A and B are shown apart, each in its own frame.
Chain A
Amino acid sequence: MMNHFMVLAVLLTLRTCYTTYLEQESIVFPVTYLNISKDLALQQLLVEWDVGKSAHDAELAMSFEIQVHRTDENTTVWTEFHNITLDRSGKSLRWIWDSDLPLECMSHSVRIRSKAEASKIWSQWSLWETVLGLDTSNNSGPQIFPDEKIVEEGSDITLCCIGRKGQIIKDFILATDVHVLNHTSSQGQVRLLTVKNVAHHVPHISVCCQESSNGDRYCDYAVFFVGKPPDTPNDFSCQTQDMKIVTCTWSQGGDTYLYGRYSSKYTLFEEFSQKPVLCTVSCSERCSCSWNIGQQRICNITLTVENPLGKKTAMDVFDVTHRIYPAAPLQLWEECTGTEITLYLEHQNKGIELFCQTELLQPDGKVELHNASSDLRVCNTITLGGLQPYTEYTTRVRCGAAKHFWRWSEWSKARTIRTNETTPSGKLDIWREITPVLGGRNVTLFWKQGTSFRANGRSISYEVTWEKVEDGSKPEKISFSSVYNSTRISIDNHSYRISIIAKNNVNYSLPSVLIIPRATGTEEVKEEQVNGTDDGIFISWEPRHTYDSYIIDWCNFPMFQPCDLQWKRFEPNTSSALINSAAFVPGVRYNFHIYGSVANSASLLEKKTGYLRELPPLPDPTVEKVELSFNAVTLSWDSYHTNESQPGFVRGYHVYVSPTQENCNLKGSKKHVLPDESVLCKYTIENPEEKRYTVKHLLSNTKYKLAVKAYSGGGETPIVDFIYIDTPFNSNTLYLLALLVIVPSLAAAICRWKMKWLKEWCCPVIPSPNKSKVLSFKEFKIGSEKVLATSDCIPDMLAVDNKVEAQNLHPWSQLSSRPTEDKINGHNSSWIYPNENEERHLTPRPTPQMHTWFENFAYSSLLSAESNPYQIPETLEAIKPELAAVLYQPHYYFDIYNEDAASTPREAAGRKTSLRYISQTDVRCLGRSL
């Protein structure tokens, strides 16, 4: 029973909880009050609303969804959820919205709905509450919003132009070339202009809006500024000189691009006294502000810099006694000795213990800082010691608080002070040059103020004394003013002691002594070449332990007289030195003498000669002699100097020869390519005293160009001039030429001279057959042709060519004498040598069995030379077919050489092989025989 009751009780409780939970989940508290207003200065929309009192009483945690709507844009431009826990006070709820668009431009509406956090159900939306824009009012003309707004560089700005009711905005533009987004309301009465990421181009930007209505123009203009918020003040600190007036200083920071009344304003506020600091800020390179702090010793100053775009602060908390910045001390006068300067000062910060620092500027530009430990309140003097006598120093002083040092004061005005004169310190550096003369020596003495010597006075003079060492004779003495640094004395060949001292207004210096030893014979010392470097000429010598110092002397201007002798001393353990002088120039040969000195007596040890830098020899060797053969040329330049007049040690010569071919192929030479890429053959002579060279292996009858260049360690100068030579003909070649040309020419001449004889000998005159006696008969004539009856002629010699083919080919080949055949060497020609005395009577018969004819070789030869057979009238005549068919052989004769002219191909082919010359009997003979 009991258990049953308990179960019922639990169930009841659960149901109650569940019911309560359901009720809470579904409970809503709608917005009962909503009011909106606008703050045009801040461009904010102020929203105020409330829900039922029960919600306040229940102290519910609630959420509100707030929507902002722009009438003209027809969209919800903002939605925000606002969570708050209500209290029992019953105060209405508030929310502020910053509008990116000027609230004047168009109407803005707000609605809200609510939800208890425990609930899942949102209330109904409240009705829209609207604040009207100026687009709904009656304007007298277009208006631009916002006007004179200051925009931070890099942000966006949206402007609107509201036209009169029913009017359309025609133009809404910026007077600066800036990219803008431009859009118009649906009615055209409001136009928006958005500039994204505004940049500072000009101090301010003008905007122009223009509406067009019935030709009347209504315009409005506005200006907006683009700037930057101020930077936080840098290096803000405050200090005092007298613990009464405090001055705070700071750096301005970057340009804000806002000027005049929009520029940054500075204010100072003292936090302990909670009072603004009454001071006037002035800014040039730095800003500063000064005011009287009275008796206040600890300050907390806040500096605020503010402009329309923002505000920055800087703070300085300080104890005035720790911020003492003393005024610059005043140097009243000074006292000097040879080595000390005492400064007398006055400072304005009475009662403040100061610590001062003195800057000492030395004549060589070095700066020394001397801290003065003395308290200036007790003694207003500062003493600077360790100074050089008769030397000008520039001093200035600054001070700082000895306790709680903050910073140095400004420097006092600089004063230039000269210390007093004292005795010259150290010795003069002296040297000599000895020139032997008849009966003695000329000694040129030189002196200079070495590093160890100090004149210590204004007026310095020199005194030279010399005396014989041996007999202690009376010394001689000469004085010189400060402008002199050398003198020449004449001494005999004895040993001399020379001393030189410097003197100022106070006293003499210690003497510098030189011993000139007794004159002895000149000792030859070999001269060696040395090399120059970028830093000077390096000299080394063999160390000797007998000397207490070494001296090197040389002439700065070896070509001049006096040559400006220089010398340098070295410690006894030195064996090399790098000699440099401002007077050293490349291309000049300098001679160095190395001396060893012991007991003020110097003796020459070594000689060196060298250049700072060798240059190419100048001028080029002049080729004085050229010996030419057909295949070699010898050049000589004997007068060329290789001495110290040269700007470098002459190491040898190069002989250049232009090759006949592109590549240098002259034996013993090397190819040398000029800057213009032409090629020369180069021969090298490595001995500067060898001033003659023979270039061999040249070609005869060829033009060559040659050049001779001297070279040194500095190289050689470019080739400018060449020597031009023409190698002569080779005589052997001439002989050969003579053989080949003159002999044939002579032969030709002789031939020409004896042409007639030769012609007659080689080519006898060919008699004309027509003029031959043979044909001088009248027995028979066919047309113009004479016919000789064989019986009328007794031939000397008769050749008979008997061919079967000929017989076959020619109808008249049957006309033949009696057949007599005798084959010789396989040839079917038959030669008949009849008896000269035999006379035969041959009668012409119309049908001879064998065709027989005559030919003279000479005639044949002429024909062969004259290839045109038409030139022979007789043969031309023989072409006539009517004649050829009957008796006369000349027609046939013609055909041998002009086989195409009148014969058929077949005939011609036959003749080629079968017809041959046949007789070589002298015509005369023939004629006679015939």
Chain B
Amino acid sequence: MAQGAASSLHPVTPQCPPSPSSSSPAVTKGLFILWAVPGQGGRPLQPPTLQQTQALVRHMAEDAQELFIFYEEDQRLTIHNNLCRTNHPPDWLRGSVTGPRGLRALWRTMTRMAQVLQNITRHQRDLNPPGAEILRRLASTHLKVRGLLSNLEGLFLSPSSRPSRQPPPGPTAPTKVFRQKLEGCRTLWSYSRFMAKLSTQLEARSRHEHREKLRSQRGSQLPARS
């Protein structure tokens, strides 16, 4: 089933809006989210297209990078170089999500990420006044993760095949404040790397399949010419 869902990652028709860049204004991003996440903005819930999901991943990759940079600076974790930028991401952000069981793996990763973002937000509430920028950004990223989860669930063919929302148990969170900050920072770094890699892979795959399709179309047209 997952394979089938993954194989449906074909570019059907070019319906995508212009790719949002990190420099796009907030309004553009908001409109983009409305388009990319079905059910947003009070529209009737419809299954997402793969293009929407792919575009959402690309946008989330940019958002994850911005969140990490802001978090690292806001928490004064640039005190030592590469304090956060670990080469050892947690296991759940390490595996491939583009293989035959890619969608399910991605769903699990995003479920875990949503839980981790909640933990980070809870820790940060002890450190920041209500309405602080870091809390706003974390909430925004959390919403995007939930949006991607929603899209992924919509891509599963039958509701029965959808995985349950129960998150897998995570490791015990550190109790010391600095450890919590550092843990959160490292997770956000690994998450940004993960999303960047995922976006790149999806783009490459999309281009490859597009080329294949064009090739097959040319092949079918050749006899007609002769």
Is A bound to B? yes
Q: Which residues of A contact B (CB under 8 A)?
A: 147-148, 173, 175-176, 202-204, 206, 208, 210, 219, 221-223, 255, 259-262
Given that A204-B177, A206-B178 are known contacts, is A259 also in contact with B79, CB under 8 Å in the complex? no
User: Closest residue of chain B to A202, judged by CB?
Assistant: B76
Q: Are B76 and A206 in contact (CB under 8 A)?
A: yes
B34 within 8 A of A: no
B223 within 8 A of A: no
Q: Are A259 and B177 in contact (CB under 8 A)?
A: no
Chain B residues closer than 8 Å to A147, beta-carbon distance: 176-178
Q: Are B181 and A203 in contact (CB under 8 A)?
A: no
Q: Are A204 and B127 in contact (CB under 8 A)?
A: yes
A148-B127 Cα distance, complex, nearest whole Å: 11
Q: Are A203 and B127 in contact (CB under 8 A)?
A: yes
Partner pick for B177 among A148, A208, A219, CB 8 A cutoff: A148
Cβ proximity bits B175-196 to A, threshold 8 Å, 1 near / 0 not:
0111001100000000000000
B80 within 8 A of A: yes
Chain A residues closer than 8 Å to B75, beta-carbon distance: 206
Q: Are A262 and B76 in contact (CB under 8 A)?
A: no
Chain B residues closer than 8 Å to A173, beta-carbon distance: 79
Partner pick for B126 among A210, A222, A259, CB 8 A cutoff: A259
A210-B178 Cα distance, complex, nearest whole Å: 15
Q: Are B182 and A260 in contact (CB under 8 A)?
A: no
User: Closest residue of chain B to A221, judged by CB?
Assistant: B178
Question: What's the nearest-Cβ distance from chain A to residue B73, in Å?
Answer: 11
Partner pick for B79 among A204, A208, A260, A261, CB 8 A cutoff: A208
Chain A residues closer than 8 Å to B176, beta-carbon distance: 147-148
Question: What's the nearest-Cβ distance from chain B to residue A327, in Å?
Answer: 31
17 contacts between A and B (CB under 8 A): A173-B79, A175-B76, A175-B77, A175-B79, A202-B76, A203-B127, A203-B128, A206-B77, A206-B178, A221-B79, A222-B178, A259-B127, A259-B129, A259-B130, A260-B125, A260-B126, A262-B126
A449-B40 Cα distance, complex, nearest whole Å: 61
Chain A residues closer than 8 Å to B125, beta-carbon distance: 259-260
A223-B176 Cα distance, complex, nearest whole Å: 9
Chain B residues closer than 8 Å to A262, beta-carbon distance: 126
Chain B residues closer than 8 Å to A255, beta-carbon distance: 129
From DSSP, what is the main secondary structure of chain A's interface residues?
A: mixed
Chain A residues closer than 8 Å to B128, beta-carbon distance: 203, 259
A897-B32 Cα distance, complex, nearest whole Å: 122
Cβ proximity bits B112-141 to A, threshold 8 Å, 1 near / 0 not:
000000000000011111101000000000
Question: What's the nearest-Cβ distance from chain B to residue A180, in Å?
Answer: 14
Chain B residues closer than 8 Å to A203, beta-carbon distance: 127-129, 132
Question: What's the nearest-Cβ distance from chain A to residue B120, in Å?
Answer: 13
Cβ proximity bits B61-101 to A, threshold 8 Å, 1 near / 0 not:
00000000000000111011000000000000000000000
Partner pick for B181 among A219, A223, A261, CB 8 A cutoff: A223
Question: What's the nearest-Cβ distance from chain A to residue B217, in Å?
Answer: 59
A147-B177 Cα distance, complex, nearest whole Å: 9
A176-B178 Cα distance, complex, nearest whole Å: 14
A222-B128 Cα distance, complex, nearest whole Å: 17
Question: What's the nearest-Cβ distance from chain B to residue A304, in Å?
Answer: 21
Give residues of chain B (163-180) contacting chain A, Cβ–Cβ below 8 Å: 176-178
Partner pick for B178 among A202, A223, A259, CB 8 A cutoff: A223
Q: Which 10 A-B pairs have the closest CB atoms?
A: A260-B126, A175-B76, A221-B178, A175-B79, A260-B125, A223-B177, A223-B178, A208-B79, A203-B127, A206-B76
Question: What's the nearest-Cβ distance from chain B to residue A40, in Å?
Answer: 16
User: Closest residue of chain A to B177, judged by CB?
Assistant: A223
A261-B79 Cα distance, complex, nearest whole Å: 26
A361-B181 Cα distance, complex, nearest whole Å: 59
A260-B132 Cα distance, complex, nearest whole Å: 12
Question: What's the nearest-Cβ distance from chain A to residue B82, in Å?
Answer: 11
Q: How large is the interface on B (under 10, 10 to 19, 20 to 34, 35 or more residues)?
A: 10 to 19
A148-B177 Cα distance, complex, nearest whole Å: 7
Q: Are A260 and B127 in contact (CB under 8 A)?
A: yes
Q: Are A206 and B129 in contact (CB under 8 A)?
A: no
A219-B82 Cα distance, complex, nearest whole Å: 13
Chain B residues closer than 8 Å to A204, beta-carbon distance: 127, 177
Question: What's the nearest-Cβ distance from chain B to residue A136, in Å?
Answer: 24
Q: Are A208 and B80 in contact (CB under 8 A)?
A: yes
A147-B180 Cα distance, complex, nearest whole Å: 13
A219-B76 Cα distance, complex, nearest whole Å: 15
Chain A residues closer than 8 Å to B79, beta-carbon distance: 173, 175, 206, 208, 221
7 more CB-based (< 8 A) A-B contacts, given A175-B76, A175-B79, A203-B127:
A147-B177, A147-B178, A148-B177, A221-B182, A222-B178, A223-B177, A223-B178
A175-B185 Cα distance, complex, nearest whole Å: 16
Chain A residues closer than 8 Å to B177, beta-carbon distance: 147-148, 204, 223
Question: What's the nearest-Cβ distance from chain A to residue B118, in Å?
Answer: 14
Chain A residues closer than 8 Å to B80, beta-carbon distance: 208, 210, 219
Chain B residues closer than 8 Å to A176, beta-carbon distance: 76
Question: What's the nearest-Cβ distance from chain B to residue A225, in Å?
Answer: 8
A34-B55 Cα distance, complex, nearest whole Å: 74
Q: Which of A202, A223, A262 counts the most chain B CB atoms within 10 A?
A: A223
Chain A residues closer than 8 Å to B132, beta-carbon distance: 203
A771-B177 Cα distance, complex, nearest whole Å: 142
Question: What's the nearest-Cβ distance from chain B to residue A258, in Å?
Answer: 9
A222-B179 Cα distance, complex, nearest whole Å: 9
A203-B128 Cα distance, complex, nearest whole Å: 6
Chain B residues closer than 8 Å to A260, beta-carbon distance: 125-127
Question: What's the nearest-Cβ distance from chain B to residue A147, in Å?
Answer: 7
User: Closest residue of chain B to A219, judged by CB?
Assistant: B80
Question: What's the nearest-Cβ distance from chain B to residue A153, in Å?
Answer: 15
A924-B127 Cα distance, complex, nearest whole Å: 142
Chain A residues closer than 8 Å to B181, beta-carbon distance: 206, 223
Chain A residues closer than 8 Å to B127, beta-carbon distance: 203-204, 259-260
Chain B residues closer than 8 Å to A221, beta-carbon distance: 79, 178, 182
Chain B residues closer than 8 Å to A259, beta-carbon distance: 125-130
A675-B148 Cα distance, complex, nearest whole Å: 77
A173-B80 Cα distance, complex, nearest whole Å: 11
Q: Are A261 and B126 in contact (CB under 8 A)?
A: yes
Question: What's the nearest-Cβ distance from chain A to residue B136, in Å?
Answer: 15
User: Closest residue of chain B to A258, judged by CB?
Assistant: B126
Chain B residues closer than 8 Å to A223, beta-carbon distance: 177-178, 181
Question: What's the nearest-Cβ distance from chain B to residue A497, in Å?
Answer: 75
Question: What's the nearest-Cβ distance from chain A to residue B126, in Å?
Answer: 3
Question: What's the nearest-Cβ distance from chain B to residue A499, in Å?
Answer: 69
Q: Which of A148, A219, A221 counts the most chain B CB atoms within 10 A?
A: A221
A757-B126 Cα distance, complex, nearest whole Å: 132
User: Closest residue of chain A to B123, judged by CB?
Assistant: A260
A203-B76 Cα distance, complex, nearest whole Å: 11
A210-B77 Cα distance, complex, nearest whole Å: 14
A210-B79 Cα distance, complex, nearest whole Å: 11
User: Closest residue of chain A to B78, judged by CB?
Assistant: A175
A204-B180 Cα distance, complex, nearest whole Å: 13
A176-B73 Cα distance, complex, nearest whole Å: 11
User: Closest residue of chain A to B74, judged by CB?
Assistant: A202
User: Closest residue of chain B to A262, judged by CB?
Assistant: B126
Chain B residues closer than 8 Å to A222, beta-carbon distance: 178
Give residues of chain B (47-66) contacting chain A, Cβ–Cβ below 8 Å: none
Question: What's the nearest-Cβ distance from chain B to residue A659, in Å?
Answer: 70
A206-B178 Cα distance, complex, nearest whole Å: 8
Give residues of chain B (182-214) contacting chain A, Cβ–Cβ below 8 Å: 182
Question: What's the nearest-Cβ distance from chain A to residue B28, in Å?
Answer: 32
A807-B76 Cα distance, complex, nearest whole Å: 130
Question: What's the nearest-Cβ distance from chain B to residue A831, in Å?
Answer: 128
Question: What's the nearest-Cβ distance from chain A to residue B128, in Å?
Answer: 5
Q: Which of B127, B130, B181 counts the most chain A CB atoms within 10 A?
A: B127
Question: What's the nearest-Cβ distance from chain B to residue A283, in Å?
Answer: 11
Q: Which of A147, A204, A219, A262 counts the most chain B CB atoms within 10 A?
A: A204
Question: What's the nearest-Cβ distance from chain B to residue A861, in Å?
Answer: 110
Cβ proximity bits B145-176 to A, threshold 8 Å, 1 near / 0 not:
00000000000000000000000000000001
Chain A residues closer than 8 Å to B129, beta-carbon distance: 203, 255, 259
Chain A residues closer than 8 Å to B178, beta-carbon distance: 147, 206, 221-223
